Amino acid sequence: MTLPDYPSIINLSKLHKIYWESIDIMPTFDVTSEASRVEIKNAIDATNKEVLNRFDFKGSDARVELNEMTVTVFADDEFKLGQVYDVLVNKLAKRSVDIRFLERGKTTKIGGDKVKEDIIIKTGISKELAKKIIKRLKDNKIKVKPSIQGDIIRVASQKRDTLQDAIKIIKEFREQPLQFGNFRD
């Protein structure tokens, strides 16, 4: 009894090798914009602790709360609200959270003289900013392939050096804090 030839297995392995050699795996990186939720929570806790211990806030109802991605600042009047906001910004800066993530809302009265303000924490890159970034990359005639994927921009290129040039161009945008990550070679 002789063993039959298996030409189909040999052909499949050759096809598999040809397929993987033909795929052009390009270096890529992602541009994101997201604040660290842990650092924001820690800054809010430090703000509440300082407000609780400060002499000028004794007996007041000044505090800061975090709900999902909204920070709510409570105070007895608008002046104290501004002071609590300043303490919050100071604590965020100490924790390396960029204040450009914060978008202040309207101040509303919640009864008597007490006021509150909702502050939205921005996450993700807006469509308008993403389009501006892609337009700037194309205007500079760098050989990259940027694509919008939800609230992330993925930039691909044949060469790493070209990606480094793209990062330099994107860093010129100051409208929103941007992070560069997920660098793949």
Pick the CATH number of 26-34+124-184 from 3.40.50.740, 3.40.50.300, 3.30.70.3270, 3.30.70.860: 3.30.70.860
Q: Tell me what pLDDT residue 132 has.
A: 92
The mean of the pLDDT values for the chain is 86
Confidence of residue 97 (pLDDT cuts 50, 70, 90): very high
pLDDT at position 17 over 70? no
Confidence at residue 13, expressed as pLDDT on a 0 to 100 scale: 63
* Residues 32-72 pLDDT 10s: 999 999 999 999 999 999 999 999 888 888 999 999 889 99
Answering whether pTM is above 0.85, one says no
Is 26-34+124-184's fold the same as 37-121's? yes
Q: Where are the domains of the chain?
A: 26-34+124-184, 37-121
Token pair of 172 as six digits: 């010129």
Residue 180 to residue 153: CA distance in whole angstroms: 10
May I ask the CATH architecture of the domain 37-121?
2-Layer Sandwich (3.30)
Report how far Cα 39 is from the mean position of its chain's Cα atoms: 13
**Of 19-33, 71-85, 149-163, 168-182, which gets the smallest average pLDDT?**
19-33
- At residue 86, the pLDDT reads 95
30 pLDDT band (50/70/90 cuts)? very high
Q: Please work out, in degrees rounded to the nearest 5, the angle formed at the alpha carbon of residue 108 by the alpha carbons of 67 and 83.
A: 75
Mean pLDDT within 143-147: 90
pLDDT of the residue at 47: 95
